Each structure stands twice: as structure tokens, then as C-alpha cells.
Amino acid sequence: MIALADLYRAEFRTSLATMFQYRAALVIWLISQVLDPLIYLIVWSTVAVASGGSVAGYTTGDFAAYFIVLMIVNHLTFTWIMWEYEYRVREGTLSAALLRPVHPIHADIAENLSSKMVSTPGMLLAAMILALIFHPTFHFTPWAVAAFVPAVALAFLLRFFVEWTLALAAFWTTRVGALNQMYFVAILFLSGQVAPLALFPPTVQTAAALLPFRWMISFPVELLLGRLTPQQALTGFAAQLGWIAVSLLLLRLVWRLGVRVYSAVSG
């Protein structure tokens, strides 16, 4: 554990230095993180006004609160590993990582967290500006606010493990763009990014609850906004923990099989 802690400290220092070197790219990425929820917020606010003030119990203020919180949660749980692994296998850069005495996933976790440390203040500033413009209606309760922190932490781990596992398809295909697109379409609709899941048909809501997508993003958002009962919150935490266990088992299995067939395409 001490050696692992030292590893994370070293990775944090390296990753933070890298992030500060690419400040312009970081700003562009932050803008892209704000644009999607902003567009959905404007669309659904317009629909609510045209529908007499609300849609499925969501007013314009509720939509503003939902998409502002969703923007923060999506940022805190977002990973880019599904784009990275194709490059690592195709260019052979993974070979050096396999020679290290620790699993490559630790470096990816450290890099992801260090990126969030640098970029989260900018996201919070963007959220404050959007709140001033769109006047969100928040319904915070103390217990839900306290539960929000572990819910986001578990959501990040779940999303990271699932996407890291899917990224390992590059061991067999080297080109995973089609798989990535299928996954991102699924998470876009089933995690509540396009609209709150309450606006979808019951079949879609059921699919979102049975699959891991809702527990990656929508659950922490609904929790913080006070739309869940304590019993529903406990069910959500159980679903997160269950899916994390499943994704970890799959990750270990796919990694073990993938390393056996790995050969660098170049490099």
C-alpha cells in the first residue's frame, strides 16, 4: 500500500505538470463539456414553456437545476480511456507500460483524477454562470447532499471500470471506433444526459435501471436534487456496488485474455 501511495503521488505530479502544459486544450475540452448540457437545457426549457410551464413534473427551473448538476456529475465521472487504448495498441506504447511492476490502470486513474483537480474549478465557475442566467430551482435535503459525495465517487469508479474494460477490445480489433460510438449512444440516452429518465417511456427507464448507465450519472443527479427517497437511494448504492463488482471481475478476465494476444502493431 505504501508503494502504491508513492506511485499515485508520482503520477499526480507528472499528470498535473502535463495538464498545465496543455492549458489551451484543457479550455477547449471544458467548453465542449459545457455545450452539450447547455443545449439540452435550452431545448427542454423551451418545451416546458410551450407545454404550459412543465413537462412530466419538471419546470424550467427544475430543468435548469437538473442539467447544471448533470454537467458537474458528468465532468466528475468522465473518462477518455476508450480513445486512448486504440492508440496504445496501434502504436505500441502499451508495451512499456506492461514492463512496469504495477498494473497500468493505476496510472490511468491518477491521470484522470489529476485532470479533474485542474479542471473542476472551471466547471464550477461555468455552473455558477449558468445558474445566474437560467435561475435553477434546487430542492436540497441534508441527507441527500451528504449521500451525494459517495454516490459520485462510486459512479466514477463504475464508469471508469466499465469503460476501461470496453477499451480493452483494442487487443483484438485495434480499431474500436464503432464500439465506442455504440457505447456513447447508449450512455447518452440511458444515463439521463439527453433528458431526465422520468421523461422516457417505462421500457427505457427499466433498461436504464437494469444496465449500469443510470448509476453512472443519473443516480447522483437525482439524489442531489432531492428526487429520491432514502430507500431509493439505498437501492441505488446497492446497484452501484453490484455493478462495480461485476465490472471489476470482467476487467480482470478481459485484461488477462487480452494481454495474452497482445502484439504491438507498430513501435
Q: For residues 67 and 65, give the distance between their C-alpha atoms in angstroms, rounded to a whole number.
A: 6
CB atoms within 10 A of CB 83: 13
Q: For residues 239 and 246, give the distance between their C-alpha atoms in angstroms, rounded to a whole number.
A: 11
Mean pLDDT of the chain: 88
pLDDT one-digit tens code per residue, 169-197: 988 887 788 888 899 999 999 999 999 99
DSSP track, 80-108: -HHHHHHHHHHHTTHHHHHTSSS-HHHHH
Q: Domain residues of the chain, as ranges?
A: 2-261
pTM value?
0.89
- Name the helix (H) or strand (E) containing 54: strand 54-55
Q: How many CA within 13 A on the CB side of residue 63? A: 26
Would you state the pLDDT for residue 2?
65
* Cα-trace Rg, the chain: 20
Could you say which DSSP state residue 169 is in?
T
pLDDT one-digit tens code per residue, 22-78: 666 667 777 888 888 999 999 999 999 998 888 888 999 999 999 999 999 999 999
Cell of 104: 497500468
Q: For residues 231 and 239, give the distance between their C-alpha atoms in angstroms, rounded to a whole number.
A: 12
